[in-house]
Structure 1
């Protein structure tokens, strides 16, 4: 690559860094191509760092739980009762209210074969939906975008409300878009420097495909930003969202859902839940933020008749060890629980048995639901996609939707 092309590469690449996006799947749609009301939406909330599932859904009648956690165990009188055997963390009052009105489903003992206790490796497995002995470079939502946008009259879209794009949203041909503020994204992409640079783009030979890719990225980014910003103005929530990162991000998602933008998947992260030390205060604070944000978000959807069309799914890369450690926390474990929230759930409440603390493996919980079955259910039954093709294997569908 000659000096001129190096300079172009750096200049064009700076837009992707400044705007914090990974486009290609997203471009301005022609008038009349917006999806009609009733569009099914999936909102994924990643509980980063490995949330402690045993103190999330609490087996408060199990003596082994309290012997294993003499300090960390949530008292029976503090837990919010779900049924005779299980309660929910007292900071999750908003989720308990959703449980009571039939809008919450809880899956216990979710994991995968041969679990990995590394944050990075286990998160990659959850992001790609690979087996633990496979290394994949594309994510499950990214492959969904690849499949849905191939030969269709309009792209299927996914947005991550964050500064960077997660592996889950990166496909081989299509990628999601990461942004924190649609208006800031538009302001950055509207800089005259980038538009002038785009006009000057020469038709390079094939050996300069990296430069060509970045120019294409820049062009799609500019048109995508304008489209998202336009849709973002359609609805501005009047609900009092909490002034936390998660609260602000859920408000952004609600505004876009109510605009009927052609977006099927939203992705947001919350944490860190890596509670090796002083777990009680950290988990309680994060749960309070989660509960407050989800409560207002679901109220917003209900008031605007969109709750039936949205499923919120939470996950974490692994749970924690059954026994507390010497530092007032818990170390990396395996199987965990997941929350499913929405007005269109076919089954609600506690969907399967709680953890079996008498049948552990090396001090860890054994999984009995493969998380890829949850993905397959949401892809096939909620989003109407070919889950087997996207996940590269067939997994049993569950009956929560």
Structure 2
């Protein structure tokens, strides 16, 4: 089923309301007696396609993804001292360099290579999911400007064709405020239906139903604003439904998971240029809010993420899209550095982002310090949200950051392989 995120998305006003292993002793044993983790040998990344051919996939890890578990500072004794019940042994990580290693379940990520950007956050973090998600959706680091469009929507307005059936799409249960745009059409698609407009199974009944939908949603100058908006949305859904029905076929190899279904549909959408889509938003359904039993729950999430992202990247390569698609993860915040009494981690501040595609594998930017935490024992951001977004806007799409972000943020250098 398709639902429309049209223009300002009603100003976004409604969206804002919407067994322990590890330990310090274990780390000592792991570093003294276990074999050192094997360094990664990531393949040579492709050179990025020309800017007008580039596309973006944003994977939203809502709930607060723990960057210190996804990318482990495995040689930092402070990490093991503060996380006596939730640390990951140094011998188990997929080593990136002499400081950082990927979570043990991220085997496909390790084999394919990823750019790692740690310490991503804001100078004035908030521990509320709703507040921080709103800031990320709108690209408002301090939460003071309250834009009426989303960051991804503003990007769509710059890089997309206003006449296209859609420029941005969210593969979730409804429109995302992140894609709220002024000029271009953005919408949502249900990955379980492949974006098809809901139709009866009987062909004759389906034809009558479709004709009725077109008739009911014909423009009428006498209609009120709300009815006009609803009809406009329905017409766009009907228009894109015809495009969705002709998408390239799905390929095998994806895991049987919600993220697997989302990324399988994303590959089909990205492979077809006729609808004009440049940006795909993928909201993960997994619960990153691991206040309890962090080790077990997080390992399960990473296992599913790894299987889905591995299949997705292989699919993109088969379709000849490896140089055209940048994949980036984000989360509204990370987790507190010390673990709690329930084998879990409470709300934190800065987190870690992964980027895949035409990127240089390894660590980028400044690694946050575990010795200079804020007053809530959280990581201090070393890469501002606006700098992360500038890397996508300016570094990937060559769109001047000031066109879509407040101020003049600079992209993080050295990530994109463009020559």
**Cα distance in 1, alignment partners of residues 314 and 160 from structure 2:** 32
Alignment of 1:251 onto 2:264 = yes
Partner of 2:178: 168
Partner of 1:14: none
Normalised to the residue count of structure 2, the TM-score between the two structures is 0.80
Alignment of 1:177 onto 2:170 = no
What SS is found at the alignment partner of 1:22? strand
**Cα distance in 2, alignment partners of residues 202 and 273 from structure 1:** 44
Once the two structures are superposed, residues 127-154 of structure 1 have per-residue CA deviations (whole angstroms, 9 ceiling, x without a partner) of: 111132412332101122234458x664
Cα contact 1:145–1:156 (8 A) shared by 2? no
Paired residues for 1:157-306 under 5 Å: 157-181=167-191, 183=194, 185-188=196-199, 192-193=208-209, 195-196=211-212, 198-199=214-215, 201=218, 203-205=220-222, 208-230=224-246, 232=247, 234-237=248-251, 239-261=252-274, 262-270=276-284, 271-306=286-321
**Cα distance in 1, alignment partners of residues 327 and 219 from structure 2:** 45
**Cα distance in 2, alignment partners of residues 141 and 219 from structure 1:** 23
Partner of 1:146: 157
Gaps of 5+ in 2: 9-49, 201-205
Change (3 A) 1:133 1:42: closer
**Cα distance in 1, alignment partners of residues 76 and 194 from structure 2:** 51
Alignment of 1:21 onto 2:4 = yes
Gaps of 5+ in 1: 1-17, 26-35
Deviates more, 1:241-250 or 1:180-189: 180-189
- Using the TM superposition, give the Cα deviation of residue 23 of structure 1 relative to its aligned residue in structure 2, in angstroms: 4.6
- Using the TM superposition, give the Cα deviation of residue 210 of structure 1 relative to its aligned residue in structure 2, in angstroms: 1.3
Once the two structures are superposed, residues 318-364 of structure 1 have per-residue CA deviations (whole angstroms, 9 ceiling, x without a partner) of: 0110100011100000011100100x22x321113433111111111
Change (3 A) 1:353 1:141: closer
Partner of 1:125: 135
Once the two structures are superposed, residues 157-200 of structure 1 have per-residue CA deviations (whole angstroms, 9 ceiling, x without a partner) of: 01111111111011245452111245552334967446425425
Partner of 1:325: 340
Paired residues for 1:11-90 under 5 Å: 19-23=2-6, 39-90=53-104
Cα contact 1:48–1:272 (8 A) shared by 2? yes
Cα contact 2:118–2:367 (8 A) shared by 1? yes
**Cα distance in 2, alignment partners of residues 191 and 269 from structure 1:** 33
**Cα distance in 2, alignment partners of residues 112 and 142 from structure 1:** 21
Once the two structures are superposed, residues 256-297 of structure 1 have per-residue CA deviations (whole angstroms, 9 ceiling, x without a partner) of: 222334211111122210000111111111100000001111
Normalised to the residue count of structure 1, the TM-score between the two structures is 0.84
**Cα distance in 1, alignment partners of residues 296 and 387 from structure 2:** 33
Alignment of 1:137 onto 2:152 = no
**Cα distance in 2, alignment partners of residues 47 and 133 from structure 1:** 20
How many residues are aligned here?
Answer: 363
Change (3 A) 1:374 1:107: same
**Cα distance in 2, alignment partners of residues 353 and 214 from structure 1:** 47
Paired residues for 1:303-318 under 5 Å: 303-318=318-333
Change (3 A) 1:370 1:205: same
Deviates more, 1:270-279 or 1:57-66: 57-66
Once the two structures are superposed, residues 205-244 of structure 1 have per-residue CA deviations (whole angstroms, 9 ceiling, x without a partner) of: 47x12111211221121111101222x1x3432x311000
Change (3 A) 1:153 1:245: closer
What SS is found at the alignment partner of 2:292? coil
Structure (1 or 2) with the greater helix fraction: 1
What SS is found at the alignment partner of 1:55? helix
